[in-house]
Amino acid sequence: MKKRILALLLLHLIGVNLTPVAFAQTAASNKSGNFFYFDFVTTDQRMMVRQSSTFGATDTAVNNVMEYKAGHYFNSQNEIPRSPIMLGVKLNPNLEDFFSNPVKSISKEYSNYIIKDSSAAILIAMGIDKSNIKNYRYRVVQNDSLEIIPWSRIPQLEQKYGAKQPYGYLGKFQSPGKQILVEVRNINDYSIRDGVIFDWRVNFKPVVTEIMLETPDDGKNVNDYTKKINYFNLNYSKMNKGYATRFDSKTGMPLDLKFPVDSVANIRLSYKDHITIPYVIYLVKNISGKTDTTTIGWYNLENYANVEAKYYNRPGKYEIIIQRANDLGHWPENQVLRISFEVKPPPVLDKKVSIKQAFPYIMATLTGVALLFGGYYRHNQVKLLRAAQEKQTAGLKLQSIRAQLNPHFMFNALTSIQNLVNKNDMIGANHYLSKFAGLTRQVLDTGNEELLSIEQEIRILDDYLQMEQLRFSFKYEIIVDADLNKANTEIPAMLLQPFVENAVKHGVAVLKEKGKIEIAVIRDAKDLVFSIRDNGKWVTANNQTEIRGYGLKLSEERVALLNQLYKDQPVSLYIEKAGEGTIVSIRLTNWL
């Protein structure tokens, strides 16, 4: 679902007819809007990974989905419909929280929509027209048990909502409190089929049918299968070791669950079937008066979930919270299941030892610990001193390289101004000088800083590219991941500048207005990934750079020094041929 939402956001930003709420299912405003939703499959050309996405066409221009399918939109060349049937769904424009878990049907995947306000849903098939309508049948199944419309011909063709050609109209559906499946298939090829599930139910509170506790395996009786039982159903009081004595009469959940620390290795929760609704489990901890919340995991199709001992390995009070997938607190309390329990300190040993008996052992232990600590302390001090010296040396080398990069950058810029003056282009030279003055001020202001925010780095790059654009007329684009905090995320200063200069001078300068540079800043889990792509030809087919500029050489040395300075956050650099152009990739590992 997250990948689908990100795809919707990208398409919305470039002006495609998308609902602004389709990618904000966890935000305060997440209405369906006046749109038809169509399912696509996209291929990310960087990693060649296929994933689901959703296209939203306004209900006044539904034919835009056919334009999108034909590849007439940005990046839609890599998108194909999930099915040639191309089912489109229109919901109540004010409906919220409507996306839910897709459902598998053998080799196919059907979309699922939650309609909590009992409103109607319209279903069309843009892939069915007058040339093939005879080849398709549809049916409607209620609550996965009653076929209310058997396999039948498509009811009709219609041409509304801004469509340029007639399309298959399957109907307007409304069944408050129930769930229906609308399925469409090709009578000549069963592999061509698709479907949509509409769910008008209002109660999605999870139902746990069984709680099983697993105790640690002590390794005893390993050869006796009848005695090697280390798990039990909590609801059976004769087997549950007294961990729970009272249970809720309606839900069967324990009301007084308690057990000693390290006595339970795993809590397994078995769900009632929830194939269309994904659930998420949170664990709230209260240890020594401090409260913390941990997300245990998301569960889509599984009918059970494990809460392992690593989440409750300290004495304290805990609460398992299970709800329909979303942020904690998003759903009302009557849609949430809570299971509270307490982890008690280990029991005190009954056997007591006198101080006189224990004294020799205590003294021997303290002496051994003191000797070990002294040796460890000495070794650690030497190690810390050596590491500090290495870090200081690397830091000085980095400052030296940075000091060389700044004049190199200034020299290149002045050379560009000289070229304009030699061409008697005084207007261009003056404009260039104005840009250069502002850019020089930014570089000088940050000259003593090893780290800059992404926002500052992007500003410097943007000013530089505008300046060079005056000379060479190329196009450029800077894309920054919306999830990144640009103002508060710092990176090594002018990390990208030399590579952007290289892309301009050795890549797109000769191409003039046909040149294009794309700079992307992307968050990948805890990594920060930068890519500089141009359509120049300064890298050979075997990924060898034809141009070895001074700035590029200094930057490669700088990356090596950064890896010495930030050993737990390594920096990787790749320069390679990408199609007809070149791509420079820089990854800052564990940077976020």
Q: Give tens-digit pLDDT for 477-490.
A: 999 998 889 889 99
Number of neighbouring beta carbons within 10 Å of residue 148: 12
Half-sphere exposure of 591 (CA within 13 A, CB side): 27
Four-way CATH pick for 208-344: 3.30.70, 2.60.40, 3.30.750, 2.40.70 = 2.60.40
Q: Which of 50, 29, 16, 107 is nearest to 37 (CA)?
A: 16
* Single-letter amino acid code for the residue at 328: L
Residue 18's pLDDT is 36
Helix 550-565, helix 355-422: angle, nearest 10:
170
What is the residue extent of each domain of the chain? Answer: 2-199, 208-344, 382-588
Contact 19, 92 (CB under 8 A): no
Q: 233 Cβ partners below 8 Å, 6+ apart? A: 210, 211, 212, 239, 240
Q: What kind and span of H or E run contains 98?
A: none
Residue 538's pLDDT is 74
- Is residue 501 scored above 50 in pLDDT? yes
Q: By CB neighbour count within 10 A (0-12 exposed, 13-18 middle, 19+ buried), where does 34 fall?
A: middle
Residues 314-342: what's their mean pLDDT?
91
CA torsion sign for 321, 323, 327, 329 is: negative
Q: 145 Cβ partners below 8 Å, 6+ apart? A: none
Of residues 146 and 362, the one with the higher pLDDT is 146
Alpha helices, DSSP H only, in 133-196? Answer: none
Residues 396-423: what's their mean pLDDT?
62
The string of pLDDT tens digits covering residues 559-580 is: 887 887 777 888 899 888 888 8
Q: What is the mean pLDDT of the chain?
A: 82
277 band by pLDDT with thresholds 50, 70 and 90: confident
Residue 107's pLDDT is 86
Residues 198-203: what's their mean pLDDT?
91
Q: Give the whole-angstrom CA distance, residue 374 versus residue 506.
A: 59
Q: What percent of the chain has a predicted confidence (pLDDT) above 90?
A: 40
DSSP-assigned states of every residue in 498-538 = HHHHHIIIIIIGGGGGG-EEEEEEEEETTEEEEEEEES---
Half-sphere exposure of 178 (CA within 13 A, CB side): 15
Of residues 359 and 56, the one with the higher pLDDT is 56
Q: Give the whole-angstrom CA distance, residue 530 versus residue 588.
A: 8
366 band by pLDDT with thresholds 50, 70 and 90: confident
Residue 77's pLDDT is 67
Q: Encoding tokens for residue 140?
A: 């409607």
- Is residue 89 scored above 90 in pLDDT? yes
Residues 292-297: what's their mean pLDDT?
90
- Is residue 136 scored above 90 in pLDDT? yes
Q: Encoding tokens for residue 358?
A: 């224990």
Q: What kind and span of H or E run contains 448?
A: none
When mean pLDDT is compared across 82-96, 340-354, 572-586, the lowest value belongs to: 340-354
- Is residue 378 scored above 90 in pLDDT? no
Number of neighbouring beta carbons within 10 Å of residue 287: 14
Residue 470's pLDDT is 79
546 band by pLDDT with thresholds 50, 70 and 90: low
Q: 112 Cβ partners below 8 Å, 6+ apart? A: 100, 101, 102, 103, 196, 197, 199, 276
Q: What percent of the chain has a predicted confidence (pLDDT) above 70?
A: 80
20 band by pLDDT with thresholds 50, 70 and 90: very low
Q: Which of 93-102, 177-186, 442-451, 499-508 has the highest mean pLDDT?
A: 177-186
The string of pLDDT tens digits covering residues 38-88 is: 999 987 767 777 788 899 999 999 999 999 988 877 666 678 999 999 999
389 band by pLDDT with thresholds 50, 70 and 90: low
Residue 437's pLDDT is 74
Of residues 379 and 498, the one with the higher pLDDT is 498
- Is residue 170 scored above 50 in pLDDT? yes
Residue 566's pLDDT is 77
Contact 537, 581 (CB under 8 A): yes
* Residues listed for the chain: 592
Four-way CATH pick for 382-588: 3.40.50.10210, 3.40.50.460, 3.40.50.300, 3.30.565.10 = 3.30.565.10
Q: Encoding tokens for residue 216?
A: 């640690």
Residue 302's pLDDT is 73
Burial 390-424 (b: 16+ CB within 10 A, else e): eeeebeebbeebbeebbebbeebbeebbeebeeee
Q: Which of 553, 552, 515, 548 is nearest to 534 (CA)?
A: 515
